[in-house]
Structure 1
Amino acid sequence: MTITVTTPAATRSWTPVCPLDRLEPDRGVAALIDGVQVALFRTADGLFALDNLDPVGGAYVLSRGIVGSRGGVPTVASPLHKQVYDLRTGICLDLPGVAVPRHEVRCRDGLVEVRLRQEG
């Protein structure tokens, strides 16, 4: 499933994406927010948002990755080459120096909202 949301450029703060119950636990979903593909995850540890682009494979697939944990750290494994990323930070746990940009995410009044990272 992909959710598409567009917000006016002047209000680049929190963008409502979907109701919380649309996110299945331990599964990812892709959202297109102002032209940026974001992978959203709901786990027992909370909500997480990363870019959907796998930096190793070069494809927009992280939302289809395998959600799990490594040493108590919530993770997603790329479905392409199986690199594992920390959902809290976006840092690759398998390849030093590789990371996926992360975005802020919250649930307010039952609605999942994302604030895209600022470029630059």
Structure 2
Amino acid sequence: MTAVEEQLGTIAVCPADRLIPGRGVAALLPDGRQVAVFRTTSDEYYGLSNVDPFGKAAVLSRGIIGDSAGVPTVSSPLLKQRFDLRTGVCLDDESVRIRVYEVRVIDGVVHIRP
């Protein structure tokens, strides 16, 4: 663990320039949780649980990033439910919410707060 990670309570994922705008990647946390990390085309970074609560598979990092009335979203590649990247709320069934992770870019490296 680096001094930055220790001080901020974060985990380094990868260099920010390795993330393609408009795409997501999966990151495995030390405790086994999977996080889907997204970089939008406007260079915003988001983190959600990678597990689709409807399909019960770790696939959200492969979803399609979009926008719904100004809300940044990811659509599951399985059943196409849309999730708000900021809050984790499913826009198609607001009773469903997935975990959101804080994502920050520090000195060119993407960090997640577990």
What is the TM-score normalised by the length of structure 2?
0.90
Separation in 2, partners of 1:45, 1:100: 22
Match of 1:3 in 2: none
Separation in 2, partners of 1:53, 1:61: 6
Alignment RMSD (CA, Å): 1.7
Q: Could you tell me which amino acid in structure 2 is paired with residue 38 of structure 1?
A: V
% identity of equivalent residues: 56
Q: 1:54–1:61: 8 Å Cα contact kept in structure 2?
A: yes
SS of equivalent to 1:57? coil
Separation in 1, partners of 2:59, 2:49: 10
Size of the aligned set, in residue pairs, is: 108
SS of equivalent to 2:17? helix
Q: Per the alignment, do residues 45 and 24 of structure 1 end up closer, same or farther by CA in structure 2, a change over 3 Å counting?
A: closer
Question: Is 1:39 aligned to residue 56 of structure 2?
Answer: no
Separation in 2, partners of 1:37, 1:96: 22
Q: Could you tell me which amino acid in structure 2 is paired with residue 36 of structure 1?
A: R
Specify every segment of 5 or more residues in structure 1 that has no aligned partner in the other structure, as ranges: 1-5
Taking the TM superposition and a 5 Å limit, the aligned residue runs for 1:100-119 are 100-116=98-114
Q: 2:21–2:43: 8 Å Cα contact kept in structure 1?
A: no
Offset from partner CA, 1:80-103 (integer Å, 9 cap, x none): 000000000100000121011011
What is the TM-score normalised by the length of structure 1?
0.85
Match of 1:66 in 2: 64
SS of equivalent to 2:78? coil
